[in-house]
Amino acid sequence: MRLNRFSACGIAVLAFAAGSLFTARVYRTEQVRADANRVFELRVYHTVPGKAGALQAEFRDKVSKLFAKHDLEAVGYWAPVDAPVSDNTFIYMLAHPSRDAAKKHWSAFQADPEFQAMIKSQQGEGAKIVEKVDSTYMDPTDFSPLK
């Protein structure tokens, strides 16, 4: 009788452990699937010659705070080192939960009164900073360390 109790306890413990491992595996898979739509956006700003520093200041002082406010996750900001692009180029990358989320967050960002005021301040003689923006959405490869 005593052996049967221990056997029953052992079986119960093994069943509990197996169930826990299975549940953890399923939960982990769901987490990966939740991030499967994550997309990155590479943005390259071409400024009026000599205005790359002014654009960096705008991002440092204003835009990065607005990004955070509107759930636009900056991965990093870069300034080219070599001429001639170092004089008029600013690069950054954003991570979005999905393309739909990117569209939603960008819409909210562009409608923000602070952003609208910043754009308005860059209009007029000599105030223009940005000439052109290139935007590229990217999916990480299966071997990418950043996903």
Single-letter residue type at 116: Q
pLDDT at 110: 97
Q: At 51, is the secondary structure helix, strand, or coil?
A: coil
pLDDT at 124: 83
Q: What is the mean pLDDT of the chain?
A: 83
**CATH architecture of the domain with range 39-138:** 2-Layer Sandwich (3.30)
Q: What is the C-alpha separation between 38 and 60, in angstroms, rounded? A: 25
| pLDDT per position as a tens digit, 115-132 | 999 999 999 888 999 999
